Amino acid sequence: MSQSNGLQCRVCEERGSSCLFAQHTKTRECENDDDICYSWFYRSGSDVGVQRTCLSVKSPEYNLIKGLIADVIKYRLNVELDSIRQAGTWKSERIISTSQSSHIKIENSKDDLLNFCANNYLGLANNREIITAAKQALDDYGSGLSSVRFICGTQTIHKQLEQRISKFHQREDAILYISCFDANAGIFETLLKEQDYIISDELNHASIIDGIRLCKAKRLRYKHKDMSDLELKLKESFNENNDNIIRLIATDGVFSMDGTIAPLPDIKCLADKYHALVFVDECHATGFFGRTGRGTEEYFNMIGTIDIINSTLGKALGGAAGGYTTGSKALIDLLRQRSRPYLFSNTLPPPIVASAIKAIDLIENNPSLPGRVAENASYFRTELQNLGFKILGDNHPICPVMLGDARLASRFADEMLKRGIYVIGFSYPVVPKDRARIRVQISAAHSKIDLQQCIQAFAEVGRQLEVIK
């Protein structure tokens, strides 16, 4: 292809190889959608360089380049899609035709399914009082704010929910996000600078990992729940120059894939020893874990001691969507000023805000709700272990039944579905390779009969697929 064809780029108005527009891009279309600015690397002997040209839509090279680009994309996508299929890690989505509940229907099937894979820990996702509150908020406040919070997106109910959340966790203030993924994306970059350290459990949720990627602090990772390794990493962060440094330990309260619980008392002890702050993601604890549902802190009888809590409204607290950070007033004030997912994304819709307020009402007024899910989890875990299954984790409603092989996990889930039990096989990249599992999620909404049906199906499929004797 010749370097200079004398055509003028319609964006930078330069001719031939001096086209400026192409400098920052490999290939871009010109503004009028006709011409294309194209740059490529060349090698001639030991001479390597970059050349650019602008091709007119009328030139034969134009179609060649267009075709090449389309082929590369098609080729790359297909190779990747095929490799996912071949690895047996393809994730299909079953389409639910009812509301979220312990009993659901899926499309093209008349039969009721028993649902054991939602994070609907308290069974509030289709609670009548929550639905009524959401409808009322729709009437009173509309469907949404068409705005971010600081421009014109803050209503009385947003402030009410933030107050209810901070009171629930016994903190000074709280800030809402459209999801906990966003809360995790916003916290580290806002709080930590280059000189700081973020020290993170290796099994933390993807959203914590991504949030950490966005910040400039030095990153250290400790082995899952390994306190000696955490101490080593804290020592590494502890040098002569300790002025004006934040060390932040980040952990899930409960780990979503393993059902394990972070040893918060030990973490807090080390944090105090090495002048570190502690961040805990409580998505799989808020509302149902601990005696009154205050989460992992309450489970360990240490409410109010963790510096920063992020959590979701999309699991136990009504199951709609939304997330939050709760902590000191200064921290929340700073997040309102600086946190990018808060500043640049729309307000939480009023019906969702009202659902979450009602969910907190229900939890505060029914202290037996969290106990119900703990009792169900304990029963299910014991029965499955007695059958010979290996279940990971502590006594938490996340019950990962370990199978190892991705295809086996997927086949196991299909066989369970034939018996009316909806569970999902988890495989790479959601969990490490060769650590595939069925993650059973227990809810307060499951009756004893529901649990027994699920246990019976596990026994049958486990024997059929020779996982148990």
Catalytic residue list: 256, 284, 315
Give the interface with ligand PLP as residue ranges (CB under 6 A): 179-181, 184, 205, 207, 252, 256, 281, 283-284, 312, 314, 323
| Separation between Cα atoms, residue 141 and residue 62, nearest integer Å | 53
11 vs 176 by CB, closer to ligand PLP: 176
| Separation between Cα atoms, residue 305 and residue 382, nearest integer Å | 32
Closest contact distance (angstroms) between CB of 184 and ligand PLP is 6
Closest contact distance (angstroms) between CB of 299 and ligand PLP is 16
Pairing of strands 247-252, 197-201: parallel
Q: Are 455 and 463 in contact (CB under 8 A)?
A: no
52 vs 205 by CB, closer to ligand PLP: 205
| Token pair listed for 330 | 């200064």
Write a three-state SS string for the chain: CCCCCCCECCCCCCEHHHCCHHHHCCEEECCCCCCEEEEEEEEECCEEEEEEEEECCCCHHHHHHHHHHHHHHHHHHHHHHHHHHHCCCCCCCCCECCCCCCEECECCCCCCEEECCCCCCCCCCCCHHHHHHHHHHHHHHCCCCCCEHHHHCCCHHHHHHHHHHHHHCCCCEEEEECCHHHHHHHHHHHHCCCCCEEEEECCCCHHHHHHHHCCCCEEEEECCCCHHHHHHHHHHHCCCCCCCCCEEEEEECECCCCCCECCHHHHHHHHHHCCCEEEEECCCCCCCCCCCCCCHHHHCCCCCCCCEEEEECCCCCCCCCCEEEEECHHHHHHHHHHCHHHHCCECCCHHHHHHHHHHHHHHHHCCHHHHHHHHHHHHHHHHHHHHCCCECCCCCCEEEEEEECHHHHHHHHHHHHHCCEECEEECCCCCCCCCEEEEEECCCCCCHHHHHHHHHHHHHHHHHCCCCC
Q: Are 193 and 217 in contact (CB under 8 A)?
A: yes
Closest contact distance (angstroms) between CB of 424 and ligand PLP is 13
Which of 373, 370, 360 lies closest to 293, judged by CA? 370
Give the chain's radius of gyration (CA, Å): 27
Closest contact distance (angstroms) between CB of 252 and ligand PLP is 5
Q: Are 434 and 404 in contact (CB under 8 A)?
A: yes
| Separation between Cα atoms, residue 369 and residue 293, nearest integer Å | 8
Closest contact distance (angstroms) between CB of 96 and ligand PLP is 17
177 vs 389 by CB, closer to ligand PLP: 177
22 vs 180 by CB, closer to ligand PLP: 180
Closest contact distance (angstroms) between CB of 208 and ligand PLP is 7
Closest contact distance (angstroms) between CB of 284 and ligand PLP is 6
59 vs 346 by CB, closer to ligand PLP: 346
Q: Letter for the amino acid at 394? A: D
314 vs 349 by CB, closer to ligand PLP: 314
180 vs 455 by CB, closer to ligand PLP: 180
Closest contact distance (angstroms) between CB of 265 and ligand PLP is 20
Closest contact distance (angstroms) between CB of 204 and ligand PLP is 8
19 vs 262 by CB, closer to ligand PLP: 262
Rounded to 10°, the helix 448-464/406-418 angle is 130
184 vs 339 by CB, closer to ligand PLP: 184
